[in-house]
Amino acid sequence: MAPKLSVSPVTTALNAPAHAPATVLSEVYTSKPLSDVAAEHRNLSALQRARLQYNPRYNPVLADPAAVVLQQGQPTTAAFDQDHIAKLFPNLYGQPSLSFAKHVPSHFEPKTVGVVLSGGPAPGGHNVICGMFDFVSNLNPNSKLLGFRNGPDGLLNAEYVLLDADTVALYRNQGGFHMIGSGRTKIETPAQFDAVRNTVEQLDLDALVIVGGDDSNSNAMKIAEHFKQHQLKCCVNGAPKTIDNDLRNAQVQVSFGFDTAAKSYAESIASLAFDAVSARKAYHFVRVMGRSASHIALECALQTHPNLCFIGEEVKHNSTTLLDVVRTVVDLIQQRSLQGKNYGVIVLPEGLVEFMPDVEALIAELNEILAHAERSLSRQQITEKLNPRNAELFRNLPDAIANQLMLERDPHGNVQVAKIEAERLLIGMVSSRLAMLKKEGLYKGKFSGVPHYLGYEARCAMPSNFDANYTYGLGRVAAALCCNGKTGYIATLSNLTKPAEEWVPAGFPLTMMMNIERRHGKDSAVIKKMLVDLQGAPFTDFALKRESWKLNDEYRSPGTTQFWGPTADVVSMSLQLEASVTANQ
């Protein structure tokens, strides 16, 4: 257990309005404590208590913070759009990569380090903080770790808590981001950058770690550049978080939370599959999180062998239409029904319909029509205005989905394609099509579709041993970068299919993974998302096996995440498959 830092009450700026510079930092006051430690402890389950005792495993090179030495590699460039990105980060572009080594311990002055959790929660967030806490307090017991409240808002409004050993001890290896909360605010405007700078200056921060996905880490880089430009001492570094696993590249082997979340969804999908084949009367349509990238759907398919699994990237690559997908599902159901199997499991990625050209065309025309309509139109009236192709699709949509598209609009008046519950859409369309085939005598089975959406259930699950070790290690790496005066880096660990003691810590400039994308009509430097590679090992393995899963029931259960026993350290299949390719290269 880490040494105890000075216990301190919660400190917040006096009700500073959101996004405004916090100018009243001297008037800090003591509000109710972050958490009533005794009360929190009373509410812990036996498993939560047992997990508090788990000591994350890490590379011994990270063991003595005062002995960590960062060795510089070659100067770096960006993977894409080098010149443009170099211009956007004139102070920090091209920094060398950093590897870790152990020297004789030096003396370190106490550090004041801040941490922000940004975006959707992911299993392991608390351990990043624990890793940072242990590192900075081991380095010098007078160090301070400040947790900014509720994401970037805490930075803007100088709302933070001083994290003491008692508080941190309550969250070791626990799920959730609730130790300090998370938020989605982006630091974009000059006033926001000023507010952040003001907070950091007032608190005399030596460093700041932003734990987040691609957007949040891109933001971290911009803040690092801004600080450098204004000659602040404060370093800014990032840690790669997102269950979607799309913050990944040559430097980042996996983003944290994916392992636990995918295991959780896969366990549910497997249970549904066994339910299907046990009760033999329903098709389960399971949508899983992952809007831009289908890594989660792919991992779940590899883990559970569903009868069908769609991959957004493949749908996009093949320009597969919604009607194509309906046909594929209907074909499967017809074929299985000939074998007496009127049940099955079908997995869909969250963003599925957004990748389909026919849906895209329909939505575009709907937006046009609805924007120019002077009064509310009936479905029939809208259908008549659509071009014949779009009209056919619109006619085929289940009532609930068509109504939702017509009635629910986003603040810009646009149809909300992201709100479509693809599993319900498919069940409705498949059901209609099967009813027609039945009339024609081409289908004799009985169809019952059950919709499921697996998303929020796993973002705050207790982290697997993998994620607990990974995030704790990332926390130590991030703290090491901070305490050694490095800025604009992302903390990484690689060699992840080996025991955690052999994972290799490193720091890479965030600019290395950036490219230029159009955002809100402007060029912006952002970390490039990693989508499913249709030539990559996980997809190739899936493509090889999936035909056999269609008619045979080869369902497989990874089971619930285990923290002890022979399977406690099994890592995701995607990671194993990718690592095996790297090893063979």
Residues with catalytic roles? 244
Q: Tell me the HSE value of 490 on the side-chain side, using a 13 A CA sphere.
A: 36
Q: If binding is defined by CB under 8 A, does position 120 make contact with a copy of itself?
A: yes
Using the rule CB under 8 A, is 564 a contact of a copy of itself? yes
Among 10, 51, 93, 301, binds a copy of itself (CB under 8 A): 51
Nearest distance from C-beta of residue 44 to a copy of itself, angstroms: 7
| Residue 338 lies near a copy of itself (rule: CB under 8 A) | no
DSSP β-ladder status, 308-309 and 207-212: unpaired
Which range binds a copy of itself by CB under 8 A, 243-251, 471-479, 504-512, 557-565?
Answer: 557-565
User: Three-class SS of residue 296?
Assistant: helix
Distance CA 297, CA 457 (A): 15
CA gap 236, 224 in Å, rounded: 5
Query: In sequence order, what are the residues at sequence separation of 6 or more whose Cβ sits closer than 8 angstroms to the Cβ of residue 9?
Result: 30, 31, 33
What percentage of the chain's residues is helix, strand, coil (to nearest 5)? 45, 15, 40
3-class DSSP state for residue 417?
helix
Distance CA 324, CA 317 (A): 14
- Indicate whether 544 belongs to the interface with a copy of itself (CB under 8 A): no
453 is in an annotated binding site: no
Nearer to a copy of itself, 198 or 219 (CB): 219
Contact between 555 and a copy of itself per CB under 8 A? yes
Residue 535 binding a copy of itself, by CB under 8 A: no
Tokens representing 310? 């769609």
Taking alpha carbons only, the member of 109, 107, 97, 142 closest to residue 3 is 142
Q: Which of 228, 295, 459, 486 binds a copy of itself (CB under 8 A)?
A: 459
Which is nearer to a copy of itself, 222 or 459 (by Cβ)?
459
What token pair was written down for 359? 């849906």
User: How many CB atoms sit inside 10 A of residue 585's CB?
Assistant: 5
416 in contact with a copy of itself (CB under 8 A): no
Among 12, 174, 321, 471, binds a copy of itself (CB under 8 A): 174
Cβ distance to a copy of itself smaller for residue 130 or 270: 270
Q: Does 364 engage in binding with a copy of itself (CB under 8 A)?
A: no
Q: Is 243 annotated as a binding residue?
A: yes
Vertex 259: Cα angle to 254 and 260 (nearest 5): 145
Positions in 27-46 near a copy of itself (CB under 8 A): 39, 43-46
Which is closer to a copy of itself, CB of 47 or CB of 191?
Answer: 47
Among 111, 172, 295, 305, binds a copy of itself (CB under 8 A): 305
Q: Mapping DSSP to helix (H, G, I), strand (E, B) and coil, where does residue 517 land? A: strand
Q: Does the protein bind a copy of itself through residue 121 (CB under 8 A)?
A: yes
Q: Which of 462, 490, 491, 493 is the binder for a copy of itself (CB under 8 A)?
A: 462
559 near a copy of itself (CB under 8 A): yes
Report the distance separating Cα 298 and Cα 537, nearest Å. Answer: 11
Q: Measuring CA to CA, which residue among 457, 484, 460, 455 is closest to residue 117? A: 460
Q: Is 242 annotated as a binding residue?
A: yes
Query: 492 has which bridge partners?
Result: 506
Question: What does the angle CA 93 – CA 97 – CA 99 come to, to the nearest 5 degrees?
Answer: 155
Of these, 74, 231, 278, 535, which contacts a copy of itself (CB under 8 A)? 278
The reply on whether position 307 binds a copy of itself by CB under 8 A is no
Helix (H) or strand (E) holding 380: helix 379-385
- Pick out the residues of the known binding site: 120, 214, 242-244, 289-291, 350, 456-459
- Pick out the residues of the known binding site for diphosphate: 120
- Pick out the residues of the known binding site for Mg(2+): 214
- Pick out the residues of the known binding site for substrate: 242-244, 289-291, 350, 456-459
> What does the binding site for a copy of itself look like in residue numbers (CB under 8 A)?
39, 43-48, 50-51, 117, 120-121, 125, 150, 174-178, 181-183, 264, 267-268, 270-275, 277-280, 282, 284, 303, 305, 399-400, 403, 450, 452, 456-462, 552-568, 570
